[in-house]
Amino acid sequence: MKSIQKVWFITGASKGMGLEITKAGLNNGDKVIATSRNIDELVELSKLHGGHLLPIKLDITNEKDVQSAISNGIAKFGRIDIVVNNAGYNLLGSIEEISDEEFRKTMEVNFFAMTHIIRNVLPHLRKQRSGHIINTASMMGYMSYPGNGSYSASKYAVIGLSEALAQEVAPFGIKVTILAPGTFRTNFMNQETLTVAQHQIDVYELNNQIEQFTGFDGKQLGDPKKLAEVVLQITDMPNPPLHLPLGSDSYHAILEVRKHEKQEMEQWKSLSLSTDFE
């Protein structure tokens, strides 16, 4: 028998990885506060799970709405134990092509919205002296490619913030995990859902990058259901990982990047060490 029932707060819960994590939590006997801009799928799912699922329509970039969603969730279930910052947004375009407004939207959804949730849920987690914050970065938070600069910048930021957060909240019994998924078989790479820079410059050949990106659709290595099961596993660990690549593509690519970084640092070591006072 399950001894401890947990309460999850999940963003981007209506599709893809977020929906699979929601289902995994429910199937585990837990309760879930599931948020998304569109909650039609979640409302239907709630009919199968009685009072264990609370769907909340939420714009995560609006901090007042975030505060309300957290308060309503705690009013319904009494507490929050696991926070999964899963919602994400991708924009393809070179740095010169992307407008300030487009770049800021990427950062708002992928980074600042996450900080809204963390800032407003932490008082509750600190009070109960427990909790697990799971922030979804990406393998693209460890490396970047042409046309992916804004997305990678936002995911690098997620990693940096999460590393600091983990040290800040450890004294209160709160854990932090950074997920770094590779390619998973969701609609993230679908041509119909893809967002690209409005102002395109021919010399950057963005169409080639779009074709390469969407060419992965339906061929991604990762299984979202298996990802959800891993997330479920780490929430039961007394000492879960801080950094967790998910998928063989993510794991191997991150190791390769680290290897090249080490080689580059050794190559230029003399310059690096030359700037200290004698």
C-beta pairs of 62-70 under 8 Å, 24+ apart in sequence: 63/116, 63/119, 63/120, 66/113, 66/116, 66/117, 66/120, 67/120, 69/9, 69/33, 69/35, 70/9, 70/117, 70/120, 70/121, 70/124
CATH 3.40.50.1820 matches 7-272:
no
Q: Locate 169 and state its tokens.
A: 């909240």
Spell out the domain ranges in the chain. Answer: 7-272
Within 8 A by CB and 6+ apart from 47, the residues are none
CA torsion, ordered 145, 150, 156, 158, to nearest 10 deg: -140
| Residues constituting the chain | 278
Name which of 217, 268, 226, 231 is nearest 247 in CA terms.
Answer: 226
Active site residues: 151
Residue 207 structure tokens: 């169409």
Q: What is the pLDDT along the chain (278 residues), one digit of tens a residue?
A: 455 899 999 999 998 899 999 999 999 999 999 999 999 989 989 988 889 999 999 999 999 999 999 999 999 999 999 999 998 888 989 999 999 999 999 999 999 999 999 999 999 999 999 999 999 999 999 999 889 999 999 999 999 999 999 999 999 999 999 999 987 776 665 566 778 889 989 898 888 877 776 766 656 777 899 999 999 999 999 999 999 999 999 999 999 999 999 999 999 999 999 999 99
What lies within 8 Å, CB to CB, of 145 at 6+ separation is 152
